[in-house]
Amino acid sequence: MRIVIALGGNALLRRGQPMTAENQRANIRAAVRNIVAVAGGNELVVAHGNGPQVGLLALQAAAYHDVVDEATPFPLDVLGAQTDAMIGYVIEQELRNLLPAGQSVATVLTMIEVDRHDPAFRHPTKPIGPVYDRVTAEKLAAAGGWVVAPDGDSFRRVVPSPHPKTIVELGVIEQLVEQQVIVICAGGGGIPTVRDDNGDLVGVEAVIDKDLASALLAAELGADLLVIATDVDGVYTGWGTAGQRRLDRIHPDDAEALSLPAGSMGPKVEAACGFARSTGGDAVIGALTDIARIVAGSGGTRVSVSGDGTKVPARRDQSQS
Q: Which of 34, 51, 268, 299 is catalytic?
A: 268
**Nearest to residue 151, comparing CAs of 16, 20, 288, 7?**
16
pLDDT at 72: 53
Please check whether residue 151 lies inside any domain of the structure.
yes
CATH code (residue 283)? 3.40.1160.10
| pLDDT, mean of residues 175-190 | 96
Confidence at 301, pLDDT banded by 50, 70, 90: very high
pLDDT at 306: 86
d(CA 129, CA 295): 31
d(CA 237, CA 313): 8
pLDDT at 315: 36
Catalytic site residue 243? Answer: no
Q: Which of 9, 189, 234, 286 is catalytic?
A: 9
| Residue 255 and residue 263 in contact, taking contact as beta carbons nearer than 8 Å | no
Catalytic site residue 10? Answer: yes
- Helix (H) / strand (E) element for 216: namely helix 210-221
- Higher-pLDDT residue of 187 and 74 is 187
Catalytic site residue 126? Answer: yes
| Domains identified in the chain, total number | 1
Confidence at 145, pLDDT banded by 50, 70, 90: confident
Please check whether residue 26 lies inside any domain of the structure.
yes
pLDDT digits (tens, 9 = 90+) for 6-17: 998 766 777 777
Q: Which of 50, 126, 129, 300 is catalytic?
A: 126
Mean confidence (pLDDT) of the chain: 87
Please check whether residue 317 lies inside any domain of the structure.
no
Alpha carbon of residue 158 to chain centroid? 15
Please check whether residue 251 lies inside any domain of the structure.
yes
pLDDT at 320: 58
Strands, DSSP E only, in 109-181? Answer: 111-114, 126-132, 147-151, 154-159, 164-167
pLDDT at 318: 44
pLDDT at 57: 72
Please check whether residue 159 lies inside any domain of the structure.
yes
| Residue 291 and residue 34 in contact, taking contact as beta carbons nearer than 8 Å | yes
Range of the domain at 60: 2-303
- What is the pTM for the complete model shown? 0.86
Please check whether residue 34 lies inside any domain of the structure.
yes
pLDDT at 190: 95
pLDDT digits (tens, 9 = 90+) for 200-254: 999 998 989 999 999 999 999 999 999 999 988 999 887 778 888 899 999 999 9
pLDDT at 2: 97
Please check whether residue 316 lies inside any domain of the structure.
no
d(CA 316, CA 321): 15
| Residue 106 and residue 183 in contact, taking contact as beta carbons nearer than 8 Å | yes
pLDDT at 321: 47
Residue 75 has pLDDT above 70, yes or no: yes
Catalytic site residue 165? Answer: no
Residue 44 has pLDDT above 90, yes or no: yes
Please check whether residue 173 lies inside any domain of the structure.
yes
| pLDDT, mean of residues 29-44 | 95
Q: Which of 27, 88, 190, 210 is catalytic?
A: 210
Catalytic site residue 97? Answer: no
Dihedral through CA 244, CA 246, CA 247, CA 253, nearest 10?
50
| Residue 304 and residue 276 in contact, taking contact as beta carbons nearer than 8 Å | yes
